[in-house]
Chain A
Amino acid sequence: MHEELIRRQRLSKITCWVYRNLSPYVNEVLRELALPEVYLQSARSVVLESKRSLLGLRSQTRLDENLCDIYRFYVPPKYELQVMSTVATRADLFMAGRGSIYSEEVTLLRRAELEFNDSLLRELDRAQLPIQTGFAGICCIVQRGDGNLLARSILEMGFSVPVVTYGKGMGIRDKLGLLRITIPVDKEVINFVVNKQDAEEVLRLVSDKARLEHPGRGFIYMFPIRNAVLNTKIHRGAIEQVASIEQIVAAIDELSGNAVWRRRTAASRRMWGKKRFPLLTELANYTIIDVEGHTADLVRRAMDAGAGGATLSALRFEQYAHEAGGTEARSREMSDLIIDKRLVEHILASSLTHGLATEHSNASVELSSVEMASTYQTD
């Protein structure tokens, strides 16, 4: 009924995280490309660092945390690779240890389609740069404070550098009345990228580690990634060879064009092992982005329409399409709802009824696919 209010646009969503010192490089490129919608989020990256103890007797591995920025922006799918390689070149992401960039396929639902400056994008070189395929992204939402524990085990498994962000959870908590304050609302969201072949196994391992089969512990899901340049520098310390192990890995990745050779799990291994818990499949990520403070209502409506819960994160909005007026609000809020694919239209209808696409609204919904997920399930 509200279908005419909303436009669907298929886009590539590019996610790029870099250490904060490198942020200006990314910002500069995006400004040059005059991208219409860029969302920034503060995050921390976690890597392992070997430290010798005072007497130099034993070395210990501790976590080194650094501030970084996550940039999320949309480009037309046909320009995806050009934009990625331009950003990656400018921020020098091909050298391990500076940041990661990856792309996903999404459908953006908005009152008006995003407009891009085609002439600027068309001019970009499609350089022969080692952008790789064959990855999957994993996102894990846990209680605030549990993030580093998981980050450490992800690093020790040796996949890629995870980034952690802060968010707030909405779910059953919000139906409890004032009693809800006894349940911590603060969450940590851990994002990392693995080989597609390993994804399910890693998801199970992490889910196990975080004890997600217990109620209220958290949620984990896996989403497809099209192209990526990854930060594989999971360890910081003195280099004693002519090339660091990360450089060697990057070189082989570059030669083979993907990271299949690095897979950890043989297909056969999936047949045995301990009792395997069932995973949720056939899911979608329904992300509402709106001015801060405005998404909670829509999330509540979506929960009434069948969604389980959501994670809310604060973002900063930048727009480079035309010089923005000084007064436009920069604060945005992103609510991620992982829902059953079949519920998408139903929930969208509910969002539309409750003001998603009213006049003057800047809100948008981003739809992307989620291949599998795991959390506590009631019988």
Chain B
Amino acid sequence: MLKSERVRIPRRQALAMILPYIGTRLKAQLSTVAFIVIYMVLFQILVLGVPLRDTLLVSAGVGAVIIGLAFFLEGLLLGIMPLGETSGLILPQRMPLAFILIFGLVLGVGATFAEPAIGFLRQAGASLDAWKAPLLFALLNRYAVMLVLAIGAGVGIAVLFGVLRFIYDLPMKPFLLVTVPLLIAMTLVAWRMPGMKAVIDLAWDSGAVTTGPVTVPLVLALGVGISRVTARSENRLSGFGVVALASAFPILTVLTLGMVLSHQAPQPMTKDAFLAPQNRAVVESLFSDPAHMNEYLAKLAAGGKGSAVASTAVQAAPAFLRDSALSAVQAILPLSLLLVLTIVVILRERLPRVDEIAFGIGLALVGLFLFNAGMQLGLANIGRQAGSSLPASFTAIPAHEGPQVITNFDPSIVQSAVTSTGRSVRFFYLDRGGSIIRIPYDPAGYDRYNSEYRYLPTRGPLFGFRGDPLGFVVVLLFALLLGVSATMAEPSLSALGITVEDLTVGTFPRALLVRAVAAGVGAGMTVGFAKILWDLPMIWLLVPVYVVLTILTLFSSEEFVAIAWDSAGVTTGPVTVPLVLATGAGISQQMGITEGFGILAMASAFPVLSVLLVGFRTSRRQARALQAME
């Protein structure tokens, strides 16, 4: 590093420079996070009428999320993205094609292992009822390693293809027009295979999940760097598209893995058959080892639902802080080291602005740690609370205060009512805090010996009668706004937005992209929640949406196609995924639906649509700008 004379800044003046620097960045994150927090808390208190619990913990968590996001995003911009861009600029000038391709493959596979969201998928898998979807269960348990390898291979091949595309300056459209129909076709084939229905959801979700907060900015910067060196075509917005491929290819690999394994997994069966001793050998084939199976069966016997989704709940403090720190280190260090080593050791180039990059990586580490911890304490906690009360809007759910006891209960006050079919229903009136409420009477709750009546207070349906469409509308509205507000806070979307704004010299502003994507995610979440509420088959949603996307892609300009499809991978990041899983799990638990897969797949399909539409508008405006003069 060249040593020029250094200007010394007095401490007071340095402070006067640092404070506004920190201030503006915190303020930016404050406004994005405030949006989702205020929204969820208000929804819970005003619409669902449930007070917020763990207020102190939640506030601390939200504070950590804000600081964490600010640090992390600054770390991305200072450290990780310059690192990616530098590698992108140097690699094609110094290395043969084969080396660059291997580098891409290694980067892709490495990125998957660094990805925390993969863990979420496996967590969700643990709560499955094994007998309903044995193949899915086996994939997430016995074949979990193979599943991660399949996803890794998918991402690796995607980065490899992406790099190849940049180096030969190939257009994005043909890639998509081959990949997407292939995806649809494979999904349709899988639909007709026994046991594969459930795997379809998993495959599409893993596509959405693989591209996380570190991978996306890194791969984006790398792509922009490479195509700056190699681009020859008229398209000046090259450098995008890897993220899109990295979301599509894992779907292919996971579906393939499922098809290969489908002959080894047993058919769906009843719970009794699952527990029957003569089927023990079959059941055993779903688990990696007998100990794991015994654990699962023991839990089942205890009445639990496998290892509950509630494992996302707050753990003991030290362990939970350690986990947050570990996942931050795991997400950032291996990938950064891979790039630094490639540049310094293999390419023998000097890193420009070493101090800035090192500081940036440090910031990103601290930021991601704070963010992870805060997410668990704060946002996901709110999400879980809102999610578990949400079904109250259309059905009766157990109230949050738990079982209640009425002492000195006199059964003679119980009255009868008649249903429209003439069946008699028993109930009594209860005066609770001045308001008279009607409680259904269940003889089993009456303890004659102590003259006590035990009952579980319920809430809801808050909107109309049970199953009233209005109640569902409220839930869908909640999903829409949840999608919009969570997306606004996604750091990888910011990274994509900044890159796009930079390359278009401000004519496609970051805010426009963020808004378009947020609207798309909101729409996608609504559809995803609808899938859960009405238990719609995934294929009914996926196929039409992707057919429409394929047609739109065909007619879009090359410039926006790659950006639009990249938005798909970018949206489902560290803010949205835990929130969706937390609220989705809340609803699933209340409604007795076993798996909440599919929301993420929808949440990443619709942004493609919205960004393509914005692209259409922009192209039309550009054309009109010239026509107006003629």
Stretch in B150-158, B215-223, B609-617, B622-630 with 4+ CB within 8 Å of A: B622-630
Interface size class of A (residues with CB under 8 A): 35 or more
- Please determine whether B4 and A165 come into contact, CB atoms closer than 8 angstroms: no
In the complex, A164 Cα to B505 Cα: how many Å?
A: 8
- Please determine whether A304 and B622 come into contact, CB atoms closer than 8 angstroms: no
- Please determine whether A316 and B17 come into contact, CB atoms closer than 8 angstroms: no
Across the interface, A65 reaches (CB within 8 A) one of B5, B236, B506, B623, namely: B506
- Please determine whether A236 and B628 come into contact, CB atoms closer than 8 angstroms: yes
Those 4 A-B pairs whose CB atoms lie nearest each other, nearest first: A97-B629, A182-B21, A331-B228, A175-B7
- Please determine whether B86 and A293 come into contact, CB atoms closer than 8 angstroms: yes
Across the interface, A42 reaches (CB within 8 A) one of B4, B236, B352, namely: B236
**Pairs A–B under 8 Å by Cβ, sample size 5:** A42-B236, A44-B507, A65-B507, A181-B21, A291-B93
Given contacts A19-B622, A179-B18, contact A164 B5 (CB under 8 A): no
State whether the Cβ of A378 lies closer than 8 Å to any Cβ in chain B: no
CB distance from A23 to the nearest CB of B (A): 7
With both beta carbons as reference points, the residue of chain A lying nearest to B625 in the complex is identified as A66
CB distance from A197 to the nearest CB of B (A): 28
Q: Please give, as numbers and ranges, the residues of chain B lying within 8 Å of A27 by CB-CB distance.
A: 234
CB distance from A340 to the nearest CB of B (A): 19
Q: Please give, as numbers and ranges, the residues of chain A lying within 8 Å of B297 by CB-CB distance.
A: none
Across the interface, B622 reaches (CB within 8 A) one of A24, A67, A292, namely: A67
- Please determine whether A43 and B626 come into contact, CB atoms closer than 8 angstroms: no
Q: Please give, as numbers and ranges, the residues of chain A lying within 8 Å of B562 by CB-CB distance.
A: none
In the complex, A20 Cα to B505 Cα: how many Å?
A: 12
- Please determine whether A178 and B359 come into contact, CB atoms closer than 8 angstroms: yes
Q: Which of A179, A303, A304 has the most CB atoms of chain B within a 10 A radius of its CB?
A: A179
Q: Please give, as numbers and ranges, the residues of chain A lying within 8 Å of B9 by CB-CB distance.
A: 176, 179
- Please determine whether B625 and A174 come into contact, CB atoms closer than 8 angstroms: no
State whether the Cβ of A150 lies closer than 8 Å to any Cβ in chain B: no
CB distance from A241 to the nearest CB of B (A): 15
In the complex, A17 Cα to B228 Cα: how many Å?
A: 20
- Please determine whether B502 and A304 come into contact, CB atoms closer than 8 angstroms: no
State whether the Cβ of B442 lies closer than 8 Å to any Cβ in chain A: no
State whether the Cβ of A346 lies closer than 8 Å to any Cβ in chain B: no
Q: Please give, as numbers and ranges, the residues of chain B lying within 8 Å of A327 by CB-CB distance.
A: 92
State whether the Cβ of A96 lies closer than 8 Å to any Cβ in chain B: yes
In the complex, A377 Cα to B35 Cα: how many Å?
A: 44
Q: Please give, as numbers and ranges, the residues of chain B lying within 8 Å of A139 by CB-CB distance.
A: none
Contact residues, A320-341 vs B (CB, 8 A) = 326-327, 329-331
Across the interface, A292 reaches (CB within 8 A) one of B228, B231, B355, namely: B228
State whether the Cβ of B503 lies closer than 8 Å to any Cβ in chain A: yes
Given contacts A19-B626, A66-B622, contact A175 B6 (CB under 8 A): yes
Given contacts A66-B625, A179-B18, A304-B5, contact A164 B506 (CB under 8 A): yes
In the complex, A111 Cα to B277 Cα: how many Å?
A: 86
Given contacts A178-B355, A179-B9, contact A293 B89 (CB under 8 A): yes
- Please determine whether B505 and A43 come into contact, CB atoms closer than 8 angstroms: yes
Q: Please give, as numbers and ranges, the residues of chain A lying within 8 Å of B93 by CB-CB distance.
A: 291, 329
- Please determine whether B236 and A297 come into contact, CB atoms closer than 8 angstroms: no
CB distance from B305 to the nearest CB of A (A): 50
In the complex, A28 Cα to B473 Cα: how many Å?
A: 57
In the complex, A297 Cα to B2 Cα: how many Å?
A: 8
- Please determine whether B17 and A183 come into contact, CB atoms closer than 8 angstroms: yes
In the complex, A307 Cα to B356 Cα: how many Å?
A: 24
State whether the Cβ of A33 lies closer than 8 Å to any Cβ in chain B: no
Provide the B1-22 mask, 1 if CB < 8 A to any CB of A, else 0.
0101111010000100110110
Q: Which of A64, A97, A181, A233 has the most CB atoms of chain B within a 10 A radius of its CB?
A: A181
- Please determine whether A296 and B352 come into contact, CB atoms closer than 8 angstroms: yes
Contact residues, A49-108 vs B (CB, 8 A) = 64-67, 69, 95-98
CB distance from B83 to the nearest CB of A (A): 13
State whether the Cβ of A147 lies closer than 8 Å to any Cβ in chain B: yes
CB distance from A96 to the nearest CB of B (A): 7
Provide the B44-59 mask, 1 if CB < 8 A to any CB of A, else 0.
0000000000000000
B interface list, Cβ under 8 A from A: 2, 4-7, 9, 14, 17-18, 20-21, 78, 86, 89-90, 92-93, 228-232, 234, 236, 352, 355-356, 359, 502-507, 621-623, 625-626, 628-630
State whether the Cβ of A300 lies closer than 8 Å to any Cβ in chain B: yes
State whether the Cβ of A129 lies closer than 8 Å to any Cβ in chain B: no
Q: Please give, as numbers and ranges, the residues of chain B lying within 8 Å of A96 by CB-CB distance.
A: 629
Q: Which of B7, B21, B355, B623 has the most CB atoms of chain A within a 10 A radius of its CB?
A: B7
Q: Please give, as numbers and ranges, the residues of chain B lying within 8 Å of A233 by CB-CB distance.
A: 629
State whether the Cβ of A314 lies closer than 8 Å to any Cβ in chain B: yes
Q: Please give, as numbers and ranges, the residues of chain A lying within 8 Å of B502 by CB-CB distance.
A: 166
With both beta carbons as reference points, the residue of chain A lying nearest to B355 in the complex is identified as A178
- Please determine whether A42 and B505 come into contact, CB atoms closer than 8 angstroms: yes
- Please determine whether B622 and A44 come into contact, CB atoms closer than 8 angstroms: no
- Please determine whether B626 and A21 come into contact, CB atoms closer than 8 angstroms: yes
Q: Please give, as numbers and ranges, the residues of chain B lying within 8 Å of A178 by CB-CB distance.
A: 355-356, 359
Additional A-B contact list (8), CB under 8 Å, known A164-B505, A179-B9: A20-B236, A44-B504, A65-B506, A67-B504, A67-B622, A97-B629, A292-B89, A329-B92
Q: Which of A164, A314, A331 has the most CB atoms of chain B within a 10 A radius of its CB?
A: A331
Contact residues, A259-274 vs B (CB, 8 A) = none
- Please determine whether B359 and A330 come into contact, CB atoms closer than 8 angstroms: no
- Please determine whether A179 and B626 come into contact, CB atoms closer than 8 angstroms: no
- Please determine whether B5 and A175 come into contact, CB atoms closer than 8 angstroms: yes
CB distance from B226 to the nearest CB of A (A): 10
State whether the Cβ of A22 lies closer than 8 Å to any Cβ in chain B: yes
- Please determine whether B352 and A293 come into contact, CB atoms closer than 8 angstroms: yes
CB distance from B626 to the nearest CB of A (A): 6
- Please determine whether B234 and A24 come into contact, CB atoms closer than 8 angstroms: yes
With both beta carbons as reference points, the residue of chain B lying nearest to A67 in the complex is identified as B507
CB distance from A301 to the nearest CB of B (A): 8
Across the interface, A98 reaches (CB within 8 A) one of B21, B89, B231, B626, namely: B626
Given contacts A316-B228, A329-B92, contact A174 B506 (CB under 8 A): no
Q: Please give, as numbers and ranges, the residues of chain B lying within 8 Å of A329 by CB-CB distance.
A: 92-93, 229-230
- Please determine whether B505 and A98 come into contact, CB atoms closer than 8 angstroms: no
Q: Please give, as numbers and ranges, the residues of chain A lying within 8 Å of B228 by CB-CB distance.
A: 292, 314, 316, 330-331
Q: Please give, as numbers and ranges, the residues of chain B lying within 8 Å of A23 by CB-CB distance.
A: 234
Q: Please give, as numbers and ranges, the residues of chain B lying within 8 Å of A22 by CB-CB distance.
A: 626
Provide the A278-304 mask, 1 if CB < 8 A to any CB of B, else 0.
000000000000011100110011011
CB distance from B75 to the nearest CB of A (A): 11
Q: Please give, as numbers and ranges, the residues of chain A lying within 8 Å of B232 by CB-CB distance.
A: 326, 330
In the complex, A148 Cα to B618 Cα: how many Å?
A: 19
- Please determine whether B4 and A174 come into contact, CB atoms closer than 8 angstroms: yes
Given contacts A19-B625, A20-B236, A293-B86, contact A67 B505 (CB under 8 A): yes
Q: Please give, as numbers and ranges, the residues of chain B lying within 8 Å of A237 by CB-CB distance.
A: 628
In the complex, A301 Cα to B2 Cα: how many Å?
A: 9
